[in-house]
């Protein structure tokens, strides 16, 4: 059984990098992000076990991960946007909206399907948050060296994954309507997501290294 895929290797490397670089970080939001990465690694590895060994659907695992992902990533975005004046009630309103959509979708499918529509909503919100952050950084008079600025690289990783994933899903949904291209859908889409995954966790790992150097 292949537990160490390109995806899981990238995720475990990012987790270990976060442990080394963020374990003594004085900022609790950055420091706690390692917990989220550990959960991701365990879910991805557990998903392989469910699929390959137990021959059971791993949908419940990934449905369980989705609200954790939303809270962890949203908390980081809120933390990074807070110095620019974003209000706490916006963050709370978004978490409430996500929870309502997530529960509605799960109940309507009787907990038998992955909450894909909620994932799309979450991805769109994260894309907008990323673009808004970049706009504020470019507009800010305070100079930062983007090449070594941890928040920039963390947001870059999030934007690459969520924008790339949304674009890929939209494009391949179009291909599904064409019988001649339907056969390439799953394999090519899988490889694209592997690349997006590596890019995201690569950016995040570099962000953790930058954060560590900043704290020294």
Model pLDDT for residues 39-63, shown as the tens digit of each residue = 999 999 999 988 888 888 899 999 9
More confident residue, 151 or 185: 151
202 occurs within a structural domain:
yes
85 occurs within a structural domain:
yes
Q: Domain count of the chain?
A: 1
1 occurs within a structural domain:
no
190 occurs within a structural domain:
yes
Helix/strand/coil (H/E/C) assignment for every residue in 85-145: CCCHHHHHHHHHHHHHHHHHHHHHCCCCCCCHHHHHHHHHHHHHHHHHHHHHHHHCCCCCC
Q: Containing domain of residue 151, as a range?
A: 6-215
So what's the pLDDT on residue 89?
A: 96
90 occurs within a structural domain:
yes
So what's the pLDDT on residue 45?
A: 93
61 occurs within a structural domain:
yes
Model pLDDT for residues 186-212, shown as the tens digit of each residue = 677 788 899 999 999 999 999 999 999
Residue 181: is its pLDDT beyond 60? no
So what's the pLDDT on residue 175?
A: 57
Model pLDDT for residues 126-174, shown as the tens digit of each residue = 999 999 999 999 998 888 899 999 999 999 999 999 999 999 888 776 6
209 occurs within a structural domain:
yes
- Mapping DSSP to helix (H, G, I), strand (E, B) and coil, where does residue 161 land? helix
189 occurs within a structural domain:
yes
Q: Rounded distance, CA 197 to CA 160, Å?
A: 9
């Amino acid at each position: 059984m292949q537990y160490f895929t390109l995806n899981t290797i990238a995720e475990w490397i990012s987790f270990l990098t976060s442990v080394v670089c963020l374990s003594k970080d004085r900022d609790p939001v950055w420091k706690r992000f390692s917990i989220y990465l550990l959960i991701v690694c365990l879910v991805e590895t557990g998903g392989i076990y469910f699929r390959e060994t137990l021959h059971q659907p791993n949908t419940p695992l990934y449905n369980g991960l989705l609200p954790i992902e939303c809270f962890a990533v949203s908390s980081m975005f809120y933390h990074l946007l807070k110095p620019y004046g974003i209000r706490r009630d916006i963050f709370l309103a978004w978490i409430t909206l996500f929870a309502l959509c997530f529960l509605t979708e799960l109940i309507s499918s009787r907990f038998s399907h992955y909450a894909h529509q909620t994932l799309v909503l979450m991805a769109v919100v994260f894309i907008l948050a990323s673009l808004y952050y970049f706009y504020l950084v470019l507009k800010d008079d305070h100079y930062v060296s983007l090449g070594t600025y941890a928040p920039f690289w963390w947001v870059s990783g999030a934007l690459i994954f969520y924008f790339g994933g949304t674009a890929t899903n939209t494009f391949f949904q179009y291909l599904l309507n064409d019988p001649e291209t339907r056969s390439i859908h799953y394999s090519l889409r899988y490889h694209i997501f592997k690349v997006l995954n590596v890019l995201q966790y690569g950016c995040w790992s570099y962000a953790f290294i930058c954060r560590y150097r900043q704290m020294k």
